[in-house]
Amino acid sequence: MADSWRLFIAFELPEHILELMQAVQADLQKVMPRSAMRWVRPEGIHLTLVFLGDVGPDRIPTLTKTMAEVAARHHPMSLGIEGLGVFPNLRRPSVLWLGVKGDLKPLAAAQDDLADELVPLGFKKETRPYRPHLTVARIKREASRADQENVGKLVDRANLRVDGHWQVRAMSLMRSQFEPGGSIYTQVAELPLAQSSD
C-alpha cells in the first residue's frame, strides 16, 4: 500500500534512558560479533505496546480517539531496565533486547486494554503473551551459525546491571520508515495517561 503508513503504538523513552541505551549498546558492541549485528539507533529505542502494520493516514483520527480513551483509564507507571535476552531462543537469536521491570501489572493491563479496543477497528489481537522489552539490536539473517550461537552464549552468561528508571506518562502513535541506515521513527500523536488524584 503506497499511500499507507507503517504504524505502532509505544511508550517513548526519556532522554536520560536513551543516553543509557547508547552506553549499553557501546558496551555490548565490544563483545558481540560485529558482522552479525544490526544495532538499533539509540534514539529509536522504545517500548512497543501494539504493532499496527500498514495503515491509511485517514484512519489516524479514529486511532488517536481510541488511544485517548484507553490512556485516560490508566495512570502513569514507573519502569526500569532489567537483564539481557533474545528472541526467539539462545540457539537461533534474531532480536537482542533489554528486559523491563517495575509496574509490570499496570503495563500489561494498559497493553491488553489497548489491544482489545483496537479489535473493533480491524486490528487483530496478538495471541502470544505480551513480553515488554527494549530492542537494542537485530541479528542479521545472513549471520553465520557460529556467530548466532556466540550471541546466545554471551547473552546466557551476561550479568548486565543497568540502573535506569523512568516514569511513563503518555502513549505515542509512531510511524516507522525504512532507511538505508536503519528504521526512522516519528511520533504521529501523543496521548497522556490519566493524572493521579494525589
Tell me which residues are annotated as active site.
46, 133
Nearest CA among 150, 159, 181 for reference residue 31: 150
From first CA to last CA, the distance across the chain in angstroms is: 47
